[in-house]
Amino acid sequence: MATSRFTKGQSGNPAGRPKGSGLAGELRKAITDSAADIVQTMITNAKAGDMQAAKALLDKVLPTLKPEALSVLLPDMVEADTLSAKAEAAIDAAGAGELSPSAASDLVSAIAGLAKIIETTELQKRLEALELLLTPKKDEK
């Protein structure tokens, strides 16, 4: 095993450039020193109608609203006996205004994912059954 010429946790160049001394560090220090003035200017600009300043302030203070998922009961979907009929029920519910298009899309995507899982599971079972049939038993050799 090769040994490293550097000691773990110790800088290879202790006399090197100090942290925060580059352009990014200088900018960070300038912003920190003037943060109160910058924020006050942004507030003033936002009140004067500067939508970019308003958006920047609001993005930092208020979280973006996410759609709230509600549970829905779609009798047609519950009664459907095939996955394609369930997907069709979700699309029909969106068309009738009973379900939002994004919720219907999420349901159809979930149904498609379930269909892939079922298909993969069935293929795996078939392959295992074929392997059992084709694998010679120890006493048949």
- pLDDT value at 141 more than 60: no
pLDDT greater than 90 at residue 125 = yes
pTM score of the predicted model: 0.49
When mean pLDDT is compared over 55-64, 67-76, 84-93, the highest value belongs to 84-93
Tell me the average pLDDT of the chain. Answer: 87
Of 3-7, 30-34, 54-58, the one with minimum mean pLDDT is 3-7
Q: What HEC string does 43-83 produce?
A: HHHHHCCCHHHHHHHHHHHCCCCCCCCCCCCCHHHHHCCCH
What's the token pair of residue 130? Answer: 């074929």
For tokens 């293929």, name the residue. Answer: 123
Judge whether 90 and 107 are in contact, CB under 8 Å.
Answer: yes
pLDDT reading at 42 higher than 90:
yes
